[in-house]
Structure 1
């Protein structure tokens, strides 16, 4: 596959997949009724943050694929699977504890990706740092919501 054709496919997979998950889970009623911590962001923050992160995730995935870094590629797919798994567990199943386990696994996968890519594909590792920061924050938020509810 051409490396220039692959980039749009990686972006479609990450951005399109993220949008599809966002549209397929109902985040309103049940979530609105939860007791929230003081550091809970307003709802409008999530779409632009995730939209930006999904672009970074897609570019990083394309770069490690292009570089042929097998371990980083596997970790990229793992983090994507965990990223896709979290919203239905949290928003659809209302399983805050199980969602916390999923997002902590996502944290670990993102850290592992950064470590695997750091030496040979540093740009990809750096592209994942905002993602790591956001997922760590989301993990803290998930833990607080589980504790409060």
Structure 2
């Protein structure tokens, strides 16, 4: 039962950190967004479900790992993903750099592909639980790209001062 509590606790910490670095204020509201963007309220529940599935995946993979080396690999894969997951929100919201967030989301997406590939031989079920996360990040990356295209350049422009 311990892997489930550890993974769940870490997922809660990651969700809280993401929430604390996400500010929906005047700057964000002033951005031109595509009409197909989901409503703001949907992102919190979506990330909660996705991080819950990732925590479940981590616990399953940990328990299925045949030895200490495989468990180490599971930890590394999830730790790398957590770093890239955390970085996106401050880049986009706190530093108001959707362009930098767009570059970073490529690494987040790559960390998810690495999770699916790396977990597959350990536990197919653990790898499959990552697929909704990969799908959501793929959608979010496309949304991020669309926002950059509609609003750039970023940095010293008027949007950065709102």
The verdict on a shared fold, with TM-score over 0.5 as the criterion, is yes
Aligned to 2:160: none
- For structure 1, the residue ranges without an aligned partner over 5 or more in a row are none
Q: Distance in 2 between matches of 1:54 and 1:64?
A: 15
Aligned to 2:27: 30
Number of positions where the alignment pairs a residue of Structure 1 with one of Structure 2 = 146
Matches within 5 A, 1:1-149: 4-68=1-65, 69=70, 70-149=72-151
Q: Distance in 2 between matches of 1:40 and 1:24?
A: 20
Q: Deviations over 1:43-83 (max 9, x none)?
A: 11101101101101111122222333343431211111100
Q: Distance in 1 between matches of 2:17 and 2:9?
A: 11
Q: TM-score, normalised by structure 2?
A: 0.84
Where do 4+ consecutive residues of structure 1 move more than 6 Å? none
**CA-based RMSD:** 1.4
Segment drifting more, 64-73 vs 13-22: 64-73
- For structure 2, the residue ranges without an aligned partner over 5 or more in a row are 152-162
Q: TM-score, normalised by structure 1?
A: 0.91
Given that residues 64 and 73 in structure 1 are in contact (C-alpha distance below 8 angstroms), is that contact kept between their aligned partners in structure 2? no
Deviation at 1:126, TM superposition (A): 0.6
Given that residues 14 and 82 in structure 2 are in contact (C-alpha distance below 8 angstroms), is that contact kept between their aligned partners in structure 1? no
Q: Distance in 2 between matches of 1:29 and 1:54?
A: 28
Flag the structure with higher helix content.
1
Indicate the structure (1 or 2) with the bigger Cα radius of gyration: 2
Q: Deviations over 1:25-49 (max 9, x none)?
A: 3122211110001221111110110
Deviation at 1:15, TM superposition (A): 2.3
